[in-house]
Chains A and B, each alone.
Chain A
Amino acid sequence: MPSTLSRRYILGRVSLYGGAILLALWTLAPLYLIALAAFSTRQATFQWPKPFLPTDFSIDTMQFFVNSRGVLDSVRNSIIVALLTIAGSLVLGAPGGYALARFRFRGKEGISLGLLISKMFPTAILSIPLAVTFLQLDLYDSLWGVALVHIAMALPFVIIVTAGIFVGVPRDLEEVAQTLGCNRLQAFLRVVLPLALPGLAAAAIFTFVISWNEVFAATILTLRNRTLPAQVLSGLNDSPLYYRYAGGFFMIVPALIFIFLIRRYLLNLWGNIVR
């Protein structure tokens, strides 16, 4: 009896780890392969059959991509837009999140529902009319214009995520600070903010990812001042394969880093997003 039990246990463990590893391979394989493709020579793109080990490692393709016209500018643009998006959505959204977390007020349910609904809107329905408006306002082909749309897209998420973060800071701490001589703002700055900072940083990174990856609005709203995804997308059909591989890999790298940085917050950020 004990031996059958332990055999069942071992069998269970084996299938557990086997399954887990299989799924990990499924997730990692494309990442490995695109890295392999991006770090081969340009000629190797047309080689067939391809090697599965980095036998001809080369930065030739990446060099070509980075030196292509508009790429470095687009990377810079992407970073600027993402930073503007972080700043804008946190400055606008965090106070709202705080209000939802701390106060009971008339209209709160309505606002929460509104946020929920505004996350539903397709990017297209925002970007197309805004492209038309921005043309009139001279915001077309400007990074500000793209950042505004990205803020609009990120804002509902940021409010909900920051509300969750502020709920996690006990109200008592703020109140005790008030009895110890702080006004509301001081209590927030000295007590709530330091405690919320890791969560807010994670929210900022999350916002960066939204902006860094966004392609539809960025392409529609720009012509020369492309962000990186817009740059890659607009030239997708008439650029060589190795250019695309390098571009794809380039876009993926920050994702890997950021997911690692905010791994502790994964479930809070993405998991509860729809609530």
Chain B
Amino acid sequence: MAGIRFQSIRKVFGKTVAADSVSLEIRDGEFMVLLGPSGCGKTTLLRCLAGLEHVDGGRVFIGDRDVTDRAPRDRRIAMVFQSYAVFPHLTVFDNIAFGLKMQGRPRDEIKRRVEESARLLELTDFLKRYPAQLSGGQRQRVAVARAIVMQAAVLLMDEPLSNLDALLRLQMRAELKRLHQEIKATTIYVTHDQVEALSLGDRIAVMQSGRIVQCDVPMNIYDYPANKFVGGFIGTPPMNFLPGVVHANGDGPTVVVGESHLAPAPAFAHALSAKNGEPILLGIRPENLTLAPNQQANTIRARVRVVEPLGSHKLLTMQVGTEISKVSVAPDQRVAPNEDVWLHFDPEKIRWMDAATGEAISATVE
């Protein structure tokens, strides 16, 4: 078992900077998710850790060993590829046994360990089959079994679920979580699927254009996105953003959005006062907006455009001034398209952001 440390990793492909001085520490036994849109550098970072790419700068540590210049086989890692990369010319047994055979383990140990991990992934009945005789989901299990049988210090997974259909993906997601609870290997999991990231990660590192923009536990990532990008990337539907202008007077600051004045939570009073007269961005999640029967404090006039009943809730598309916001309400909420309503903003749930940079404004703790 070992922790992992990326130290100012830099990787360039031609003119594209895939990793721009990335530093990240992963604790022993932690499940770390690297999350970001395609091309953000998350897979590159994983491949640098696996030794499949050579870093152009920085160091990689596994445990306290500097593995930067080591070959993949000397890093005590195991990896699951997006394509599964199951060897088509070997049976399931030989696929899982491949790494152990390379280590020259005794035959009975190989047999025992292969059967054990096959049991863990419910592959016992398929050990004699060839990959061509398996379904996509089964092949995916073979890839996972082949990695965990190595009992490596570090388990790397590169979008392992993205080639499965939706139902199977849901099932395997829970399987992987259970597996991690059982084997407790330090795991790095790359995905572009924010739901996967939230459900699996002990922590999530959100990446954008070769940098880590936020690294935190899932609920903090969700509730307190570090910037507009994170808020907009995570959540279905993502966070709503509305532009406003700060007005500071003797009673503390208010933010003018459209024709309404919103009072920020006290923790932000100080930070926002300093921005008197400046534009600002208000971020709020759809479930933190409610419909109010009449004008109250912290309400804004809005018009319902679309109503989508989704079973567990209703999703409303609202026009707020010239902006569009998504609002999630209880399924029994009575609301009709083109109705004018009052939207209530919970001040505690608003994320204020710099209008120019999109960076979140931090609360001041007094």
Interface residues of A (CB under 8 A from B): 170, 172-173, 175-183, 186, 191, 194-195
Nearest opposing residue in chain A for B82, CB measure? A172
14 contacting pairs across A/B (C-beta < 8 A)? A175-B50, A176-B81, A176-B143, A179-B52, A179-B72, A179-B73, A179-B75, A179-B78, A180-B73, A180-B78, A180-B98, A182-B102, A191-B89, A195-B89
- Is there a chain A Cβ closer than 8 Å to B11's Cβ? no
The A contact surface, by secondary structure, is helix
B residues less than 8 Å from A176 (CB atoms): 79, 81, 85, 143, 146
| A181 and B73 form a contact (CB under 8 A) | yes
B101 to chain A, nearest CB (A): 8
Closest 6 CB pairs of A and B: A181-B102, A180-B99, A172-B85, A176-B85, A178-B72, A179-B79
Interface residues of B (CB under 8 A from A): 50-52, 71-73, 75, 77-79, 81-83, 85, 87-89, 98-99, 102-103, 143, 146, 150, 156
| B72 and A175 form a contact (CB under 8 A) | yes
Given A172-B81, A183-B71, A186-B102, also A178-B89 (CB < 8 A): no
CB contact between B102 and one of A172, A173, A180 (< 8 Å): that residue:
A180
A residues less than 8 Å from B81 (CB atoms): 172, 175-176
A151 to chain B, nearest CB (A): 30
In this complex, the member of A179, A181, A183 whose beta carbon has the largest number of chain B beta carbons within 10 angstroms is A179
In this complex, the member of B51, B85, B99 whose beta carbon has the largest number of chain A beta carbons within 10 angstroms is B85
| A170 and B102 form a contact (CB under 8 A) | no
A residues less than 8 Å from B52 (CB atoms): 175, 178-179
Please measure, in the bound complex, the distance between the C-alpha atom of A183 and the C-alpha atom of B74, giving whole angstroms. 10
| B89 and A172 form a contact (CB under 8 A) | no
| A182 and B73 form a contact (CB under 8 A) | yes
Nearest opposing residue in chain B for A171, CB measure? B85
Please measure, in the bound complex, the distance between the C-alpha atom of A191 and the C-alpha atom of B85, giving whole angstroms. 11
A185 to chain B, nearest CB (A): 12
CB contact between B73 and one of A178, A194, A195 (< 8 Å): that residue:
A178
Please measure, in the bound complex, the distance between the C-alpha atom of A173 and the C-alpha atom of B131, giving whole angstroms. 13
| B71 and A178 form a contact (CB under 8 A) | yes
B residues less than 8 Å from A170 (CB atoms): 83, 85
Given A186-B102, A195-B89, also A179-B77 (CB < 8 A): yes
Nearest opposing residue in chain A for B143, CB measure? A176
**Given A170-B83, A179-B75: 11 more A-B contacts, CB < 8 Å:** A175-B50, A175-B79, A175-B85, A176-B146, A177-B98, A178-B51, A179-B51, A179-B52, A181-B99, A182-B102, A194-B89
A211 to chain B, nearest CB (A): 30
| A183 and B89 form a contact (CB under 8 A) | no
Please measure, in the bound complex, the distance between the C-alpha atom of A173 and the C-alpha atom of B51, giving whole angstroms. 15
Please measure, in the bound complex, the distance between the C-alpha atom of A172 and the C-alpha atom of B78, giving whole angstroms. 13
Nearest opposing residue in chain A for B150, CB measure? A180
Nearest opposing residue in chain A for B149, CB measure? A180
Given A175-B52, A175-B72, A186-B102, also A180-B146 (CB < 8 A): yes
B344 to chain A, nearest CB (A): 51
Given A172-B81, A175-B52, A175-B81, also A181-B87 (CB < 8 A): no
CB contact between A173 and one of B87, B103, B150 (< 8 Å): that residue:
B87
A105 to chain B, nearest CB (A): 13
Nearest opposing residue in chain A for B98, CB measure? A180
B359 to chain A, nearest CB (A): 37
B278 to chain A, nearest CB (A): 48
A residues less than 8 Å from B71 (CB atoms): 178, 183
A residues less than 8 Å from B103 (CB atoms): 181
Nearest opposing residue in chain B for A186, CB measure? B102
A35 to chain B, nearest CB (A): 40
A residues less than 8 Å from B89 (CB atoms): 191, 194-195
A residues less than 8 Å from B50 (CB atoms): 175, 179
A residues less than 8 Å from B77 (CB atoms): 179
Please measure, in the bound complex, the distance between the C-alpha atom of A7 and the C-alpha atom of B71, giving whole angstroms. 68
B residues less than 8 Å from A194 (CB atoms): 89
In this complex, the member of A170, A181, A183, A194 whose beta carbon has the largest number of chain B beta carbons within 10 angstroms is A181
A residues less than 8 Å from B146 (CB atoms): 176, 180
Nearest opposing residue in chain B for A169, CB measure? B88
A residues less than 8 Å from B143 (CB atoms): 176
Nearest opposing residue in chain B for A195, CB measure? B89
Please measure, in the bound complex, the distance between the C-alpha atom of A175 and the C-alpha atom of B98, giving whole angstroms. 13
Please measure, in the bound complex, the distance between the C-alpha atom of A182 and the C-alpha atom of B150, giving whole angstroms. 13
A residues less than 8 Å from B72 (CB atoms): 175, 178-179
B residues less than 8 Å from A195 (CB atoms): 88-89
Nearest opposing residue in chain A for B75, CB measure? A179
B residues less than 8 Å from A182 (CB atoms): 73, 102
Given A182-B73, A183-B71, A195-B89, also A172-B99 (CB < 8 A): no
